[in-house]
């Protein structure tokens, strides 16, 4: 029987990643030949999709797992960076044997457009699933940004750079940390340029006073116009940061997200971090829109994808388990610790909505550590069976994302009701099978999300995997 040391030293060639099964990699040039997959990457992707379903479904009842109202980092705030990290890791895996550069570029562009299309449909406002039995969007208020749109941008930029710099890497098999960094030198140069530009813009842009109209029909201030006083630069607070200012100028305030997490902040509601009615003396900006996936923050998010690319190159070019972990784990810990220091020293706060540099470091470091743990448990120790539900989700991630995380399947079920739109199968299952049994709204909703959504779709994905059926982008 092989010892743990033998397992660590055994050669393990990097597996090709099938791009058509990736939720977030979504398109890496030519479809590679079938090969053994990296199970830990599938499992990590499945975990990330499951986390999204959990925080979307139960975050309202459990604010500790929902998005932080402003500064800070809760469970939900790790979802987007984990997706982007997986994007980066998948790019070297899927592009390493593409001989035709023009074909690779075409595939990358086409899949980017597909991601943008689904992002507009699902998060631009056209789909109202799962609660409202309607569809359609007023083009004056369509939201242009979103999760898939950000993934598309990061993927497009980093994948094109990988293609353009690929010739020098063909046949090169570096085996030292310095060689890996040299291999990714253009990615790190791009990362440095993005970071410097982001910091200059966010701290040097002058933010003038601005105004907005309340479009929430449930608000007593519906139709009123409010003015937000700023006239400053370098602020990272909700109303006067450069991220929101650039989005208002470029996207237009009516095309931004109407329900930002800051509405649950202490400045806005006494129920913070829960949702609740605004305080009587709440500042005007509490009712204003803000896009957490806007232009400047999406530019910063490319940094997470570049870090993922570095980890992907380690997987492709380092052939020893031990050597891979020696590069992955220290770098992940360094990023995590550095980001925490930046936050608690008050130099740069953790902030998902601004996608601050400390947030990049902490979340990318966490992604690196989580992936390394899965890699050790699954690809080295062989404990793959324990994580099969997550692996199934990860192999059909786009399907589960659309049907469960975006509520399309529940929206379909809600279309079949008895006497009242509130009396649906989904509502009945939540109320009678979960909430009443546990005599708790919070516990019942949490268990409903875990069993009726995550586990259910894991089993569906498992059946589809057995049949060889995948949602391909």
Query: Tens digits of per-residue pLDDT, 401-414?
Result: 999 988 889 888 88
169 secondary structure, DSSP code: G
- Which pLDDT does position 182 carry in this prediction? 82
Candidates 118, 115, 45; CA nearest to 82 is 45
pLDDT digits (tens, 9 = 90+) for 104-135: 899 899 999 999 999 999 888 888 888 888 88
How many whole angstroms separate alpha carbon 227 and alpha carbon 213? 9
- Which pLDDT does position 422 carry in this prediction? 79
Helices (H), 141-291: 147-164, 177-183, 185-204, 242-250
Give the E-state strand segments of 58-169 in sequence order.
none
pLDDT category at 8 given cuts 50, 70, 90 is: very low
As a whole number, mean pLDDT of residues 377-391 equals 94
Q: Roughly what angle, to the nearest 10 degrees, separates helices 357-374 and 185-204?
A: 140
Tally of CB atoms within 10 A around 172: 10
- Which pLDDT does position 175 carry in this prediction? 65
Mean of the per-residue pLDDT values for the chain?
Answer: 87
What token pair was written down for 162? 């990988």
| Contact in structure between 264 and 69 (CB atoms under 8 Å) | yes
pLDDT digits (tens, 9 = 90+) for 190-200: 999 999 999 99
| Contact in structure between 356 and 350 (CB atoms under 8 Å) | yes
The better pLDDT of the pair 195, 103 is held by 195
- Which pLDDT does position 132 carry in this prediction? 81
How many whole angstroms separate alpha carbon 469 and alpha carbon 26? 17
pLDDT category at 33 given cuts 50, 70, 90 is: very low
How many whole angstroms separate alpha carbon 283 and alpha carbon 278? 9
As a whole number, mean pLDDT of residues 282-299 equals 94
* pLDDT beyond 50 at 377: yes
Q: Which helix (H) or strand (E) holds 458?
A: helix 456-467
* pLDDT beyond 90 at 335: yes
Give the E-state strand segments of 223-373 in sequence order.
225-228, 232-233
Task: Specify the range with the lowest mean pLDDT, choosing from 202-206, 264-268, 418-422, 441-445.
Answer: 418-422
Q: Which helix (H) or strand (E) holds 421?
A: strand 420-424
Task: Specify the range with the lowest mean pLDDT, choosing from 71-75, 94-98, 397-401.
Answer: 94-98
- Which pLDDT does position 436 carry in this prediction? 85
As a whole number, mean pLDDT of residues 239-250 equals 95
3-state secondary structure (DSSP) of residue 177: helix
| Contact in structure between 87 and 25 (CB atoms under 8 Å) | yes
- 273 upstream amide cis, omega within 30 of 0: yes
- Which pLDDT does position 243 carry in this prediction? 96
* pLDDT beyond 70 at 388: yes
What percent of the chain is predicted at pLDDT more than 70? Answer: 90
Candidates 340, 403, 410; CA nearest to 369 is 340
What token pair was written down for 225? 């116009």
* Cα of 14 vs its chain's centroid, Å: 24
* Cα of 10 vs its chain's centroid, Å: 33
- Which pLDDT does position 167 carry in this prediction? 59
Candidates 79, 94, 14, 43; CA nearest to 473 is 94
3-state secondary structure (DSSP) of residue 470: coil
Q: Tell the residue number behind the tokens 């597996």, with chain if given.
A: 15
How many whole angstroms separate alpha carbon 239 and alpha carbon 244? 8
What token pair was written down for 54? 């959990």
Task: Specify the range with the lowest mean pLDDT, choosing from 59-68, 83-92, 175-184.
Answer: 175-184
Listed ranges 65-79, 263-277, 428-442; the one with the highest mean pLDDT: 65-79
- Which pLDDT does position 124 carry in this prediction? 85
Candidates 403, 383, 392; CA nearest to 468 is 392
């Amino acid at each position: 029987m092989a010892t743990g040391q033998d397992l660590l030293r055994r050669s393990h060639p990097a597996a090709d990643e099938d791009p058509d099964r990736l939720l977030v990699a979504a398109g890496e040039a030519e479809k590679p030949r079938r090969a053994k997959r990296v199970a830990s990457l599938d499992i990590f992707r499945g975990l990330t999709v499951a986390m999204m379903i959990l925080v979307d479904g139960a975050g309202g009842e459990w604010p500790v797992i929902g998005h932080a109202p402003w500064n800070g980092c809760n469970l939900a705030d790790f979802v987007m960076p984990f997706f982007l990290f997986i994007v980066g890791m998948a790019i070297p895996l899927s592009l390493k044997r593409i001989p035709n550069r023009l074909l690779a570029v075409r595939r990358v562009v086409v899949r980017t457009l597909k991601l943008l299309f689904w992002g507009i449909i699902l998060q631009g406002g056209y789909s109202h699933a799962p609660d409202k039995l309607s569809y359609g969007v007023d083009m004056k208020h369509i939201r242009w940004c979103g999760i898939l749109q950000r993934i598309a941008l990061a993927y497009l930029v980093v994948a094109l750079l990988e293609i353009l710099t690929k010739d020098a890497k063909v046949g090169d098999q570096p085996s030292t940390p310095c060689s890996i960094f040299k291999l990714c030198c253009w990615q790190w140069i791009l990362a440095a340029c993005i970071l410097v530009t982001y910091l200059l813009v966010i701290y040097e842009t002058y933010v003038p006073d601005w105004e907005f109209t309340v479009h929430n029909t449930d608000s007593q201030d519906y139709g009123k116009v409010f003015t937000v006083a700023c006239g400053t630069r370098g602020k990272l607070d909700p109303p006067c940061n450069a991220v929101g200012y650039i989005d208002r100028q470029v996207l237009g305030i009516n095309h931004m997200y109407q329900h930002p997490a800051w509405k649950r902040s202490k400045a806005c509601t006494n129920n913070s971090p829960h949702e609740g009615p605004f305080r009587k003396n709440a500042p005007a900006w509490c009712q204003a829109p803000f896009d957490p996936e806007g232009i400047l923050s999406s530019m910063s998010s490319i940094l997470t994808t570049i870090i993922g690319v570095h980890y992907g190159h380690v997987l492709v070019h380092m052939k020893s388990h031990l050597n891979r972990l020696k590069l992955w784990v220290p770098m992940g810990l360094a990023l995590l610790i550095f980001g925490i220091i930046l936050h608690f020293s008050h130099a740069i706060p953790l902030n998902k909505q601004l996608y601050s540099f400390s947030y990049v470091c902490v979340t990318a470091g966490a992604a690196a550590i989580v992936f390394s743990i899965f890699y050790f448990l699954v690809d080295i120790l062989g404990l793959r069976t324990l994580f099969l539900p997550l692996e199934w989700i990860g192999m059909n991630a786009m399907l589960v994302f659309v049907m469960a995380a975006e509520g399309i399947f529940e929206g379909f079920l809600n279309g079949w009701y008895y006497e009242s739109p509130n009396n649906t199968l989904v509502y009945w299952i939540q109320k009678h099978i979960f909430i009443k049994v546990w005599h708790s709204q919070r516990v019942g909703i949490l268990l409903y999300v875990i069993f009726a959504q995550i586990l259910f779709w894991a089993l569906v994905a498992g059946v589809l995997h057995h049949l060889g059926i995948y949602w391909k982008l």
